[in-house]
Structure 1
Amino acid sequence: MSDSQHPVRPADPSPVPVELAETAAVMLSEVRDRSPLVHSVTNNVVTGFTANVLLALGAAPAMVDIVGEAGLFAGAADGLLVNLGTPAVEQRDAMREAAAGANEAGTPWVLDPVAIGVLPIRTALAAELVAARPTAVRGNASEILALAGAGAGGRGVDASDDAESARPAALELARRFGAVIAVSGPEDLITDGSAVVRVANGHELLTRVTGGGCALGSVIAAFLGVRGDRSVLEAVVSAHVAYEVAAERALEFASGPGTFAAHFLDALAAVSPDEVRAAARIRFEEVAA
């Protein structure tokens, strides 16, 4: 769907970014207070890092990817991540089961369509899972383009496209499936189909730590698990802001990717709502129907 079909109005001069920054700060406190149980059916390269990210944040991690258990656990969890990084046969069935269990129980869930486009098994699985209507989808620009049928994927797990080029695809996916779509990049692009929010926090070192992007999917699930009467868009934006402000805090102490990973966990545990509120760099625009 082209931009000419959906023209963009000028940026709203109202204090929407200020309100979103405040929501991010409050939701970070609520994640810590309520410790949502996050079920991650994720890839075997990042399970440990993902669990540690959730623990540092204040959430409770679980990695249940056995057929016969995944659906039951998704129904009991506060949020679910389905990550297609290493989709072995049994895990693919567990993903389907977990998504169905989440939908039946009303558990919010996040789809991360890792490395789809060129690789046929995960690409078909991603199409099947997005049709099950996840609450949110997060991926890099090439993954989002491939999910919308508008691109051939990236270079393995790395994007060959930028977030802005995936904007029409993200809007189309959001409208078609009723999900919030988050496109990662130097400036993240997040949309529910009627508004676009750009988050400019974070740092390139997140892309040089295995699991830096995948763990964000589980953090989104944690924030969705405590969203209450807030919109899904607000929860997804809040997760990005808190996660990426913590990354900026970690930079004060890191000397490279190895030390950054450790300091990032410390920063997630230590970053305050006031820091998140003050450091958030957010732009908001409404999109014409």
Structure 2
Amino acid sequence: MANWQLIEEVRTRNPLVHTITNIVVANDSANGLLAIGASPIMAAAVEEMAELGGMADAVVINIGTLNADLVASMLAVGKAANAAGKPVVLDPVGIGATVFRRETVQRLLAEIQFAVIRGNLGELASIAGVDWQARGVDAGSGDGSQAAEIALKVARDYKTIVAISGAVDVISDGKQVITVENGDQLLPQITGSGCLLSCVIGAFVGVTDDYLEAVVVASASYVIASEYAVKTLKRRLPGSFRVALIDELASWQTHNQEKFACIKGVVPR
């Protein structure tokens, strides 16, 4: 079910991942990509987007700190990547918080074909049109049992792979549902852990045409790294964990994934 050799493929091929992200997480996102063997570009000027969209192996669009100029750049780079046949990942951070965010994501989805959409359950529920109570960028509250249905719906509606991050990660291509049950409880205690996962997914889809497998391996490897990170801590504190997580991403080994991964069987729909 999982091709762990993709970990080495990322290291060997050093995929160029162009990320338009938010100011809160840019540094950790860049360092996380470097740790796994990818090469980050964090440009935002609209004048560069057509060139970078064709040059990068993958593009990641994160709406965390939106403004009108960034929206123009997102649209330009996404369309350029589509034209060049390069995968684009969407992270709809806090989509439910404001009208501007919702309208921006609707436009992005209408004008760009995304290879992957990754977010928390509240964010994906908003895209699916499911009633959900969220505040800011938090996952919010709703019926968590709907995660599989929401993942399937969004994947089918937008012909994409959906990854819903949470205590259990839910991944779907619109036909099947896969869950990953690894991960430490400190992950949501550091800002941008989900944003970094979106970047990691970008690196993995940048080295293979099998986007579903890429998302499963990237997600499982990432949360397994969080478990290893905690093992190195003298005290379970978020600041120390943040540093340890980057170190563990740089220390990925294939046999570690095989030992710890808890990927549930494919659920056909």
Which residue of the other structure, out of 249, 252, 263, is the alignment partner of 1:271?
A: 252
Shift of 1:154: 1.5
* 1:37 aligned partner: 16
CA deviation vs aligned residue, 1:29-73 (integer Å, no higher than 9, x gap): 110111100000001110000000001111101111111112320
The answer to whether the 8 A contact 2:36-2:252 is kept is no
Distance in 1 (CA, whole Å) between partners of 2:113 and 2:144 is: 22
Which residue of the other structure, out of 85, 90, 102, is the alignment partner of 1:106?
A: 85
CA deviation vs aligned residue, 1:5-49 (integer Å, no higher than 9, x gap): xxxxxxxxxxxxxx32xx0x2000110111100000001110000
Tell me the TM-score normalized by structure 1. 0.89
Which residue of the other structure, out of 222, 242, 250, is the alignment partner of 2:221?
A: 242
Which residue of the other structure, out of 103, 106, 126, is the alignment partner of 1:146?
A: 126
* Alignment pair present for 1:164 and 2:163: no
Gaps in structure 1 of 5+ consecutive residues: 1-18
Distance in 2 (CA, whole Å) between partners of 1:251 and 1:118 is: 32
User: 1:73-88 residue pairs with structure 2 within 5 A?
Assistant: 73-88=52-67
The answer to whether the 8 A contact 1:163-1:184 is kept is no
Tell me the TM-score normalized by structure 2. 0.95
The answer to whether the 8 A contact 1:36-1:59 is kept is yes
The answer to whether the 8 A contact 1:163-1:188 is kept is no
Which residue of the other structure, out of 164, 189, 207, is the alignment partner of 2:170?
A: 189
Distance in 2 (CA, whole Å) between partners of 1:144 and 1:213 is: 13
Distance in 2 (CA, whole Å) between partners of 1:118 and 1:62 is: 28
State the secondary structure of the residue aligned to 2:227.
helix
Q: How many residues align?
A: 265
Deviates more, 1:152-161 or 1:91-100: 152-161
Distance in 2 (CA, whole Å) between partners of 1:167 and 1:125 is: 25
Shift of 1:163: 5.0
Code of the aligned partner of 1:68: E
* 1:26 aligned partner: 5
State the secondary structure of the residue aligned to 1:82.
strand
The answer to whether the 8 A contact 1:143-1:153 is kept is no
Shift of 1:284: 2.2
Report which structure shows greater RCO (CA 8 Å, sep ≥6): 1
CA deviation vs aligned residue, 1:211-268 (integer Å, no higher than 9, x gap): 111011010000000114xx21101001101111111100011221011011111111
Identity in percent: 39
Which residue of the other structure, out of 32, 55, 73, is the alignment partner of 1:53?
A: 32
**What is the Cα-based RMSD across aligned positions, in Å?**
1.3
Gaps in structure 2 of 5+ consecutive residues: none
The answer to whether the 8 A contact 2:178-2:263 is kept is yes
User: 1:212-231 residue pairs with structure 2 within 5 A?
Assistant: 212-228=193-209, 231=210
